[in-house]
Each structure stands twice: as C-alpha cells, then as structure tokens.
C-alpha cells in the first residue's frame, strides 16, 4: 500500500512540470458566464421535422457547462468550475438575493453554481437547469432592463479573487449572442473595458464563445475586441489561437448543430494548457539552439485512486492520510534531510550521499539535441515504450525560434523524415533516445482544430528494453488462404479507414464515474454500461459472414493438405487434436466434430445439461473457461461455480 503510493507520486512528478519559480498553485478554475436574454432563450427549430429537439442557445450553453463539469470530475478532479448567469430577472450572489436587505451588489447576476470543485449535488442541480425543470424556468427569466457588463465582469472578478486565489489558471467562459451590449452608452462601455482590464491584471483569461443570431453575424469588433487580450496572462508566452471557430456554424442550422459546435469548441478549450516542460533548448547542431515548450497531449486517463472515507459525521468526509517516516530501530520520526539512499548489494547496503545520488542521475541540463536524421520508415512499429510528448516553439529564450521550428517541421513533413534526438525533458530527468517527428494540423468537421501542428517526441527503447521474440511455429499461409482473408478484411474497414479516438470513450472509466455519480446522488444504478469498444457483431456477420465461411473452408482444406493426419498439434503440449483446434478457429464447423468427445465445449455443455459439471476434470474446466474469457484461477469448486454461472447467464 505504502510502496504503491510512493511510486504513484513519482509518476506524477514525472508528468507535470514542477515550476519552481512560480508561487501559484497549478490549478485551473473555469467560470461560465452565460447570457440569459430573450434571443438566447429562443429555441432554434430544425428544418428537419423528424428532429423535434428544440435547443436554444442558452440551453445549449448550459448543457455544455454540465458536460464540462462531468468531464472535469474525471479528468481534472482538483480543478474548479462555476456557472454565473447574467441578464436574469433574479439575482443571487452568495448570501445576497432579492430578499436581502440593502442594495444588491450585482443586480441581474445569478451565481447558480459557485466556483469550486463540484459536489454531486451541484452536478444534479446544473443538470436539472439544463433540462429545464420547473424551478429552472423561474431562474431563466430574462430581466427587462439591460445588465451592466462592467458589473458582470466585476462579479466574476470577485468570485475568482475569493474562491480561486493564487490559481495559475483562471478562465472566464463567456457565452453570448449579443455582440454589442452597450451600443448606446459610452460610459457603461468604458466601465466594462476597465473591468476587463482588471480581470487581465488579476490573471483571468476571458474566452468568448460567440453565437451568431439567425439574422445577424456576431461581430467581435463592436465590443469584445476591447474586452479580450491577446495573450493569456497565466501563460504569457503561449500564442493564443485566434481563429474563431463558431462563427459560421452558429448562425445557420438548428439547435442541435449549435450544441455540437459549441461542445466541440468548448471541449477544445476544456483543459487548461499546462506545459510539461518549458523553454527547453532544441539543439539543431552544435551552438545552434531554439527554444520549445513541451505538452502532454496524449496521456492515459485513469480513475482516481480510492481513498478512505469517514462516515462519522453528518456528511461523509475524505480522511487525509499523513505519512511519517520512522527509523526502524528506534521508531523515532525521521526528517527528510537525514534520509540516505542505499542499494542492496551482496547482502548489505551500498550507500551514496545525497550529492552523489544527484551526480549519478545528472547527465546534463534539459535539452532536445538532434543527433541526426533518418527516413520516417526507419522508425519501426514496435519501437515504442510510452506515450509521446508534443513540442511547440517559444520565443522566450531565443527570438526567431518559431520560424526555424516552422521550417524544420515543414521539411520533415515533406521529406518524410524524422530526427533522432537525445532528450532530457527536465532537470535531473534520465535521458532517453527519441524519434522526433512532425505532425500536421488537423481540423474536425466544424473546422475546429483537432490536432495542432508541431512536432512529437516519441521515446524509443534502449537495447535493454527490447525483449526477444518468443518461440513460435511458423506455417506460412498459402496465397489462396491469404486471398480469402483479404476479402474478409476489405468488408470491415472502420469509417474513412482511420482510427478516431474521439469515437471511443473508455468504457471502464465512464462506468466507474457513472456508478459513483449514481451512488453520490442516491440514484438508481444503471443496468448496463455503454461500451463503444464492443465490436458490432451483427454488422460483422452481415458484411463479412460469407467471406469468413469461405476462408474457413479454405483453412480446413489447406491444413488437411499441409498437415494431414500428422499435425504438430499432436505434441504433448496440447492435449487435444488438430481437428478440434481447427474447429476452434471456426465454430460453425464444430458441429461436425461434436460427439467425438474431444471438444471441451461440447463436453462441458453436455455435462451442464446433465448437471454433472462437477465430475469434469480441472483441465477441461479450465480450457472451457479460458475459451470463454473467464478467469481460470482458484480451486476446482470455484471453477465449477464459474462454469455453472456461465450457463445460467446464457440460458
């Protein structure tokens, strides 16, 4: 338990950058500011009468916020999110509402979800608002008088100041269809620009999600260009992506397409851009460096580790574990500075001082050093050990980095080459050899960037990391058999013949949080999981079925020809004959071998019908269970139980 904890911490340490110069905590807070007005509440009707979904811009925005909230519980469990509605008839700000005495600080601002790590209750409330429950209609009533944008921005300012103090990343997501809120009031307008400047100085980044009205294109130059700043204050060096992505699609189209384009736009900005390493020199040759930042665009997302919950109070509470280090001989507490690292050797410990340890781990300062170029084809499929890092140029240390990086990226793309690099991502990180390859920009159907342009650093294995191939029998398939397999493959291409990760949510991760949500909200447990990774069996049968049968015939013919009666399957390693394995490859042929007593499947099935499963041998039970993807560990009684369970579920 303790040791597992230890390694986990080490892994984390490797992933996120430890910026020692910044005093800010590496967390992100997103506050949605959603404009509630008549036009925002007007449902966009679909031309297609079959689609009866009526989605208004406001409800689309709320759904996006709900979606993002759920998503961030999984992906960024320590980051905050909040929802501020503005332009509403009613007002709410912490303890203040219409019933409070005295003036309202922020009239027509309704802080629906306070900025915080969301609780299950808040998830539920936001969902009911997005789905327009009764109560929601009351809240989503637009005010008759216009709201002051300066007030909205200062309200957001106060929320950030008090709830997300010292966060490295603070972002205000403004969703509106009003491109000129104070067209006729210069004073209000300039007050808003001043409040926007306050947010900028506070380090809050405003991100605008403009929605065009059916009759009017959203024009940022009217108001919002005075509100939004070029660089994000938290990541001053990062170039902002200025290309608007929702213009075209929001004016036309129905509510559903509006929702989708808004979702893809918000999704693409859901994660705060945190660098993995920053301003690492990319050394093209001796004495020629440019600087780059590294990002983790691909990273295996795992469910958060379990923790301990204390249920003695009104609400369950997470108990925080505190680890103390103790000397084994005296049980006295040990300070970190006194700890020495030692290696087991010859029955004793060989120790090094802290300085020596550091010296041993030091192989030079962080660098990405090109040691030569190779054609892309030199990088074998198998030469991989982990996920890649993405790099993008930075002008911070070397002015001109971007143009050189750009030229290199384009050259590598055109010439289909890669660079072999010596890569030390952080101080005292152990060096790896890596392939640096260029990646082209990719856009989705809404024109939103899906894959950024840049370069990828793919760590490759050292000789130590390469395993020898296991022994295998080689029976090269004759051309006729290959040809019939080709027919099968050609029937079963994925859409566009590409793998698109966005089509496959991780079923076990989703299930984990789906269950937690149900438990937290005391809702009914879902019956079955949605699992997009399960193959579409019906389609496979329909499209490729007859080709599979043809292939199976050919396989039978060829193996009869090649192995005859003396197939290598007669060896002692495998208990059953070739015929049965042949059948294994194709169940429809199983019928023919059934009854000869060698087929575990039929033997077990018969036994199950007769109720004599417990009389079967362990070997047969194990073979049967393995063939059906069941665990084969445990005592015989466990195996029998599992087999019986299998038949219960089936029939």
Residues 527-556 that bind other proteins (CB under 8 A): 529, 531, 533-537, 540-541, 544-546, 548-549, 551-552, 555
Token pair of 521 as six digits: 């909200």
Residue with tokens 């295998």: 472
Minimum distance between the CB of residue 44 and other proteins, rounded to whole angstroms?
25
Work out whether 77 is an interface residue with other proteins (CB under 8 A). Answer: yes
Work out whether 94 is an interface residue with other proteins (CB under 8 A). Answer: no
- Rounded Cα distance between 315 and 424, Å, is 47
Distances (CA, A) of 102 to 351, 468, 474: 70, 78, 86
Binding to other proteins (CB under 8 A) within 403-442 occurs at 403-412, 415, 417, 420, 422, 430-431, 433, 435, 437, 439, 441
Q: Which of 95, 527, 573, 597 binds other proteins (CB under 8 A)?
A: 573
Work out whether 314 is an interface residue with other proteins (CB under 8 A). Answer: no
Work out whether 447 is an interface residue with other proteins (CB under 8 A). Answer: no
Which H or E run includes 580?
helix 578-585
Work out whether 144 is an interface residue with other proteins (CB under 8 A). Answer: no
474 HSE (CA, 13 A, CB side): 4
CA angle at residue 33 from 32 to 34, to 5 degrees?
A: 105
Minimum distance between the CB of residue 169 and other proteins, rounded to whole angstroms?
12
**Which class for 638: exposed (0-12), middle (13-18), buried (19 or more C-beta within 10 A)?**
middle
- Rounded Cα distance between 651 and 647, Å, is 6
Distances (CA, A) of 641 to 240, 630, 645: 60, 12, 6
- Rounded Cα distance between 298 and 352, Å, is 36
Work out whether 379 is an interface residue with other proteins (CB under 8 A). Answer: yes
Residue 123: strand, helix, or coil:
helix
Q: Which of 24, 54, 132, 222 is catalytic?
A: 24
Which H or E run includes 633?
none
Work out whether 155 is an interface residue with other proteins (CB under 8 A). Answer: no
Distances (CA, A) of 629 to 402, 533, 604, 612: 52, 16, 15, 22
Q: Which of 216, 252, 386, 427 binds other proteins (CB under 8 A)?
A: 386
Work out whether 45 is an interface residue with other proteins (CB under 8 A). Answer: no
User: Which one, 142 or 272, has the nearer CB to other proteins?
Assistant: 272
Residue 474: strand, helix, or coil:
coil
Of 600, 589, 594, 602, nearest in space to 552 by CA: 589
Work out whether 647 is an interface residue with other proteins (CB under 8 A). Answer: no
User: Which one, 140 or 418, has the nearer CB to other proteins?
Assistant: 418
Work out whether 258 is an interface residue with other proteins (CB under 8 A). Answer: no
Q: Of the listed pieces 136-144, 210-218, 577-585, 606-614, which binds other proteins according to CB under 8 A?
A: 577-585
CA angle at residue 163 from 157 to 165, to 5 degrees?
A: 80
Q: Which of 64, 68, 174, 290 binds other proteins (CB under 8 A)?
A: 290
Minimum distance between the CB of residue 144 and other proteins, rounded to whole angstroms?
29
Work out whether 185 is an interface residue with other proteins (CB under 8 A). Answer: no
User: Which one, 46 or 384, has the nearer CB to other proteins?
Assistant: 384
Work out whether 309 is an interface residue with other proteins (CB under 8 A). Answer: yes
Whether the CB-CB separation of 36 and 86 falls below 8 Å is answered with yes
Work out whether 571 is an interface residue with other proteins (CB under 8 A). Answer: yes
24 is catalytic: yes
Q: Which of 141, 253, 352, 644 binds other proteins (CB under 8 A)?
A: 352
DSSP state of 16: S
Work out whether 187 is an interface residue with other proteins (CB under 8 A). Answer: no
> How far from chain centre, in Å, is Cα 505?
9
- Rounded Cα distance between 303 and 299, Å, is 13
Work out whether 194 is an interface residue with other proteins (CB under 8 A). Answer: yes
Work out whether 385 is an interface residue with other proteins (CB under 8 A). Answer: yes
Work out whether 148 is an interface residue with other proteins (CB under 8 A). Answer: no
User: Which one, 33 or 421, has the nearer CB to other proteins?
Assistant: 421
- Rounded Cα distance between 621 and 603, Å, is 10
Binding to other proteins (CB under 8 A) within 469-528 occurs at 469-477, 481-486, 488-490, 492-494, 496-499, 501-509, 511-513, 515-517, 519-520, 525
Q: Which of 42, 198, 248, 641 binds other proteins (CB under 8 A)?
A: 198
Q: Which residues are catalytic?
A: 24
């Amino acid at each position: 338990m303790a040791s597992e904890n230890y390694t986990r911490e080490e892994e984390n340490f490797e992933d996120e950058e430890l910026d020692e110069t910044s005093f800010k905590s590496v967390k992100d807070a997103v506050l949605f500011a959603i404009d509630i007005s008549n036009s925002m509440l007007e449902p966009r009707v679909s031309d297609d009468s079959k689609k009866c979904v009526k989605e208004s811009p406001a409800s689309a925005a709320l759904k996006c916020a709900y979606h993002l909230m759920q998503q961030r519980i999984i992906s960024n469990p320590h980051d905050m999110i909040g929802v501020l509605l503005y332009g509403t008839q009613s007002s709410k700000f912490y303890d203040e509402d219409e019933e409070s005495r005295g003036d309202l600080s922020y009239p027509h601002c309704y802080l629906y979800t306070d900025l915080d790590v969301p609780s299950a209750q808040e998830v539920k409330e936001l969902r009911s608002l997005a789905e327009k429950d009764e109560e929601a209609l009351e809240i989503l009533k637009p005010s008759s008088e216009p709201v002051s944008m300066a007030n909205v921005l200062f309200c957001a300012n106060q929320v950030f100041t008090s709830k997300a103090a010292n966060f490295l990343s603070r972002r205000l997501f403004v969703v509106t269809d009003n491109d000129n809120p104070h067209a006729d009031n210069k004073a209000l307008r300039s007050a808003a620009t001043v409040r926007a400047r306050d947010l900028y100085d506070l380090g809050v980044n405003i991100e605008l999600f403009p929605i065009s009205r059916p009759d009017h294109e959203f024009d940022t130059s009217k108001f919002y260009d005075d509100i939004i700043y070029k660089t994000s204050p938290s990541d001053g060096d990062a170039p902002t992506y200025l290309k608007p992505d929702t213009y075209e699609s929001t004016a036309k189209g129905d509510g559903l397409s509006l929702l989708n384009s808004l979702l893809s736009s918000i999704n693409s900005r859901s994660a705060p851009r945190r660098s993995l390493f920053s301003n690492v020199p990319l050394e093209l040759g001796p004495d020629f460096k440019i600087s780059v930042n590294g990002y983790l665009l691909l990273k295996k997302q795992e469910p958060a580790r379990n923790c301990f919950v204390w249920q003695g109070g009104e609400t369950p509470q997470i108990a925080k574990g505190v680890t103390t280090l103790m000397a084994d001989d005296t049980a006295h507490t040990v300070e970190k500075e006194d700890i020495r690292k030692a290696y087991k050797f010859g029955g004793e410990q060989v120790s090094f001082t802290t300085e020596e340890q550091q010296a041993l781990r030091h192989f030079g300062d962080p660098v990405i050093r090109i040691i030569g170029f190779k054609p892309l084809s030199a990088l074998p499929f198998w030469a991989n050990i982990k996920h890649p890092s993405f790099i993008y140029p930075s002008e911070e240390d070397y002015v001109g980095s971007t143009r050189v990086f750009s030229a290199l990226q384009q050259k590598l793309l055109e010439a289909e080459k890669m660079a072999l690099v010596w890569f030390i991502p952080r101080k005292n990180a152990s060096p790896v050899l890596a392939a640096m390859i260029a990646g082209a920009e990719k856009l989705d159907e809404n024109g939103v960037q899906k894959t950024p342009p840049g370069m990828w650093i793919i760590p490759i294995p050292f000789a130590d990391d390469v395993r020898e191939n296991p022994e295998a029998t080689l029976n090269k398939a004759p051309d006729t058999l290959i040809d019939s397999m080709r027919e099968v493959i050609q029937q079963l291409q994925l859409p566009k013949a590409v793998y698109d990760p966005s089509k496959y949510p991780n079923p076990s991760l989703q299930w984990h949080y789906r269950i937690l949500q149900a438990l937290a909200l005391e809702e009914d447990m879902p019956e079955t999981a949605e699992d997009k990774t399960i193959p579409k069996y019906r389609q496979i049968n329909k499209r490729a079925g007859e080709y599979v049968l043809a292939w199976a015939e050919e396989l039978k013919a060829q193996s009869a020809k090649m192995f005859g009666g003396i197939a290598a399957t007669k060896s002692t390693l495998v208990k059953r004959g070739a015929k049965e394995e042949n059948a294994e490859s194709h169940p429809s042929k199983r019928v023919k071998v059934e009854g000869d007593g060698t087929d575990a499947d039929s033997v077990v099935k018969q036994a199950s019908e007769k109720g004599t499963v417990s009389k079967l041998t362990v070997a047969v039970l194990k073979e049967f269970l393995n063939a059906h993807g069941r665990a084969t560990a445990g005592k015989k009684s466990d195996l029998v139980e599992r087999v019986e369970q299998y038949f219960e579920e089936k029939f």
